[in-house]
Structure 1
Amino acid sequence: MNINNRFMGSMLAVVAVAAGLLFATPSHADAKVVTDADATSAVTKTQVQNGTAKADGGEATGSAKLTPATKRWQSATITYKISSKSGYYKTVWQSAVKSWNKSGVVKLVATSGKADITLADKNSTMKNATVGITYSSYYNDKTMNNLKVMANAKSYVFKNVANRYHYSKSERTNVAEHELGHALGLEHNVGKGSVMYYATRDQSVSKPDVNGLVASYR
């Protein structure tokens, strides 16, 4: 009887430890989604031509030949939705999507339902000269290629700031390309030839940006 009690006690202890390990293991439902914000600084034509635009506080790192990334989507096929009442800005975003799809690395697909990326325009209430911004969220417990896996993203072009600095439609499209680059997981590039340079105005998607996508989505 004493032996059976000891045996049963030992078995209960093992079950208790196993149950403790089971409950200690985090599930996907417990994963937290973290959100970052990345912005584009507005500059005048004179600043661009004279090269006087200041660096972005050390955020851009690495080589100008490769746009760095900290995040990526789980799949290279990514859904998007343009949330705008303006036909003008719909074409701006459509052109930006086309530029990134030309890379052949990712495939951005339009959807009317829930999208991975939402593209929009609005007026800014910020006091600084930010002409575009992207809010991107990622899972804090999941990585691919050492990059955080994204959960959702929303990109804006600020109409009132673009108007204030007299951006043309092609320049607004470049801003849209920049913000969509952030929504794909790319960071700022140190080189002015990249669309991901912090103060995009004349730059469009270029080889360093495609190289960054290739490295991210390999």
Structure 2
Amino acid sequence: MGLFVSQIGGIVASAATTTPFGAQRFAKDHATYVITTKSDYYKSIWRSAIDAWNATGAFKFKTSSASKAQITLGIASKRESKKMGNDVGLTEFWARDNYFVSVNSLLNARLIKEYDYSRSDAIHVAEHELGHAMGLAHNPSTKSVMYYRNRAVGIQKVDINGVKARYQTPAGQTN
């Protein structure tokens, strides 16, 4: 089993025409999820991000019970928020033989409020974290939802192409 942690932050290189992806992925281009936050606002943020990705046709997120969900979506606790530092989003995954076993994505509600993120900004961060949940890496282009410091750009064609390429490429291989 491997662990991958992605936070919004880090160094990037030159622009890509297809958003890069890592070696890990789900077995198929769909996965089940559960939203664990009790906040109606953050539930709506996650649902809007899921709806946006589902509308692309590149990947399908399906709701599930907590015990059967492959992806858990929530907001960081006070302890997790402190650990995240200045990162507004975090995705961790566990994989076996380059296939995701489980994925956990969090939004840092404290920073979203502190930095006065609009609803649209928060949705873009959730879209970004869902990109990691599908296997996407950071895109060096500021015109990608997968740009490492993104809050203003939604899902773009380059990101959709990255998801499609990720699920047409065998697990263990990257682009």
TM-score (normalised: structure 2): 0.88
SS of the counterpart of 2:82?
Answer: coil
Stretches of structure 1 that go unaligned for 5 or more consecutive residues are 1-32, 42-55, 143-147
Bigger Cα displacement from structure 2, 206-215 vs 120-129: 120-129
Matching residue within 38, 41, 44 for 1:91: 44
Summarize the Cα distance change of 1:133–1:198 in structure 2 as closer, same or farther, 3 Å threshold: same
User: Within 5 Å, which residues of 2 pair with 1:134-145?
Assistant: 134-139=91-96, 142=97
Between 1 and 2, higher relative CO (CA 8 Å, sep ≥ 6) is seen in 2
The answer as to 2:56 corresponding to 1:67 is: no
Deviation track 1:94-151 (CA, whole Å, cap 9, x = no partner) reads 0010111112121110012421111001241137311110001111xx2xxxxx2211
Matching residue within 67, 78, 82 for 2:35: 82
Partner Cα separation in structure 2 for residue 149 and residue 162 of structure 1: 31
Deviation track 1:29-80 (CA, whole Å, cap 9, x = no partner) reads xxxx111100114xxxxxxxxxxxxxx22xx456422111112100112101
Percentage of pairs with the same residue: 36
The answer as to 2:116 corresponding to 1:162 is: no
Return the offset for 1:196. 0.3
Summarize the Cα distance change of 1:158–1:127 in structure 2 as closer, same or farther, 3 Å threshold: closer
Summarize the Cα distance change of 1:127–1:188 in structure 2 as closer, same or farther, 3 Å threshold: closer
Matching residue within 60, 68, 71 for 1:114: 68
Partner Cα separation in structure 2 for residue 104 and residue 134 of structure 1: 22
Match of 2:172 in 1: none
On the 8 A contact 2:18/2:161 being kept in 1, the answer is yes
Runs of 4+ with deviation above 2 angstroms: 60-64
Match of 2:88 in 1: 131
Return the offset for 1:170. 1.0
On the 8 A contact 2:84/2:90 being kept in 1, the answer is no
> Which structure has the larger Rg?
1
Aligned partner letter, 1:114: K
The alignment of Structure 1 onto Structure 2 pairs a total of residues equal to 163
Bigger Cα displacement from structure 2, 88-97 vs 121-130: 121-130
Summarize the Cα distance change of 1:61–1:110 in structure 2 as closer, same or farther, 3 Å threshold: farther
On the 8 A contact 1:64/1:189 being kept in 2, the answer is yes
Match of 2:55 in 1: 102
On the 8 A contact 2:14/2:141 being kept in 1, the answer is no
Matching residue within 151, 165, 168 for 1:215: 165
Partner Cα separation in structure 2 for residue 61 and residue 153 of structure 1: 26
The answer as to 2:154 corresponding to 1:197 is: no
